[in-house]
Amino acid sequence: MKHTIAVIAGDGIGTEVMPAAISCLDEIAQIHDLSLDWNHLDWGSDHFRATGRMLPVDGLETLSTHSAIFLGAVGVPDIPDVETLWGLLIPIRREFEQYINLRPVRTLPGVPSVLRDERPIDLVLVRENNEGEYSEVGGRAYRGLPQEAAMQQALFTRHGVSRAARFAAELATTRSGRVTSATKSNGIIHSMPFWDEIVAETLAEYPGLTLRSELIDALSASLVLHPWDYDVIVASNLFGDILSDLAGAVAGSIGLSPSANLNPEGRHPSMFEPVHGSAPDIAGKGIANPIGQIWSGAMMLNQLGAPRAAAHLEAAFEAALAAGVRTRDLGGTATTEQMTAEVISQIRALA
């Protein structure tokens, strides 16, 4: 089956790790008889400087005709983050109902952990990606006066919470069956009890699963102290955002972490991107770790209905790390190109 994929390499190291990932995916596609057609879109900071927009006026329409969106990193230091977030990422996530942000976190061979106890970590964060704390509802009042105030509303809907909980439950049935829900119902007394109620109702439909609700503060500490005890964690937009960076850091370098913004039903394209940003401090040097982008590509293959190809690609980058080839962020000396060449040779070896 032919898949046309929209590619937004973006800025900084996005333009370095994207070609690396595409060359791995092309290799995999050939072996698994997949047809991947890349449509490169030059949206990013240069486009913003030229037009004042991150996304062209018809950008969402353009994206809608693709099987998936493969994103590198957008953003440069002199353009405020809020432009990339609200000008590109959030409109895409909402337009295409990418209501799940999925971030697998696991320890990889040869990757030193910050933890003294190196028991293997293998968990998945399921973040609600369309509503919750990230909302436009609110405003500022009495600017410059002593009573100056700001108000920011979080919006949780029954529909939104239950579909996130259901996704987490379905995922847990394919894993060890433990779901942890991040909450703060002792402090946030309207939306969080609502969240808890709906998560519990949804999980009650899955008698084989266990559900634990944990306060976000305690959960954050536990994720540092014993991350290996977690399997599937479901969290609101804000809590999920914070936990995913935390869990990613505990497992290894930010350069390794992938993410998927999923429209699980496949009615609209999903978007796949590494967790890291454009890393202006190392951009242009050819030393960025391409694994976060490559792993995001493996998640994309899964969503496109090619799980065997996805597993092959994951096994290949794990083997490349196990072989001792490491980029600078992992304490090695390999360049982006050398790391990529090793992954490609492992793809061939494992074919």
Is residue 245 part of the contact set for ligand ATP (CB under 6 A)? no
Helix 291-303 × helix 336-349 angle, to 10°: 40
Bridge partners (DSSP) of residue 272 are: 70, 260
Q: Which helix (H) or strand (E) holds 161?
A: helix 158-173
Question: Which listed range, 22-30, 104-112, 195-203, 276-284, lies at the site for ligand ATP (CB under 6 A)?
Answer: 276-284
The rounded distance, in Å, linking the Cα atoms of 96 and 211 is 29
Q: Which of positions 251-290 make contact with Mg ion (CB under 5 A)? A: 277
Contact 234, 164 (CB under 8 A): yes
Q: How far is the CB of 183 from ligand ATP (least distance, A)?
A: 26
285 phi and psi angles, rounded to 5 deg: -95, -10
Q: How far is the CB of 45 from ligand ATP (least distance, A)?
A: 11
The rounded distance, in Å, linking the Cα atoms of 162 and 197 is 10
Q: How far is the CB of 128 from ligand ATP (least distance, A)?
A: 20
Which residue, among 65, 83, 1, 17, has the nearest Cα to 254 in the 3D structure?
A: 17
Contact 301, 223 (CB under 8 A): no
Contact 247, 258 (CB under 8 A): no
Could you tell me how far CA 86 lies from the centroid of its own chain? 17
Q: How far is the CB of 300 from Mg ion (least distance, A)?
A: 22
Question: Which listed range, 48-56, 145-153, 275-283, 303-311, lies at the site for ligand ATP (CB under 6 A)?
Answer: 275-283
Is residue 249 part of the contact set for ligand ATP (CB under 6 A)? no
For residues 286 and 305, which CB has a smaller minimum distance to ligand ATP in the complex? 286
| Residue 254 contact, options ligand ATP, Mg ion, none, Cβ 5-8 Å cut-off depending on partner type | ligand ATP
Is residue 29 part of the contact set for ligand ATP (CB under 6 A)? no
For residues 89 and 321, which CB has a smaller minimum distance to Mg ion in the complex? 89
Q: Which of positions 49-108 make contact with ligand ATP (CB under 6 A)? A: 73, 75, 81
Buried b (16+ CB within 10 A) or exposed e, 90-99: bbbbebbbbb
For residues 63 and 71, which CB has a smaller minimum distance to ligand ATP in the complex? 71
Question: Which listed range, 108-116, 165-173, 204-212, 281-289, lies at the site for ligand ATP (CB under 6 A)?
Answer: 281-289
For 3, 4, 6, the CA distances from 39, given in Å and listed in that order, are 10, 7, 5
Within 8 A by CB and 6+ apart from 265, the residues are: none
Contact 172, 178 (CB under 8 A): yes
Question: Which listed range, 1-9, 56-64, 261-269, 285-293, lies at the site for ligand ATP (CB under 6 A)?
Answer: 285-293
| Residue 292 contact, options ligand ATP, Mg ion, none, Cβ 5-8 Å cut-off depending on partner type | ligand ATP
For residues 134 and 230, which CB has a smaller minimum distance to Mg ion in the complex? 134
Q: Which of 6, 7, 13, 316 binds ligand ATP (CB under 6 A)?
A: 13
For residues 3 and 127, which CB has a smaller minimum distance to ligand ATP in the complex? 127
> What is the strand order of the sheet 178-183 is part of?
35-40, 2-10, 68-73, 270-274, 258-262, 100-106, 122-128, 232-235, 178-183, 210-215
Q: Which residues bind Mg ion (CB under 5 A)?
A: 277
By the criterion CB under 6 A, which residues form the site for ligand ATP? 13, 17, 73, 75, 81, 254-255, 276-279, 281-282, 288-289, 292, 329
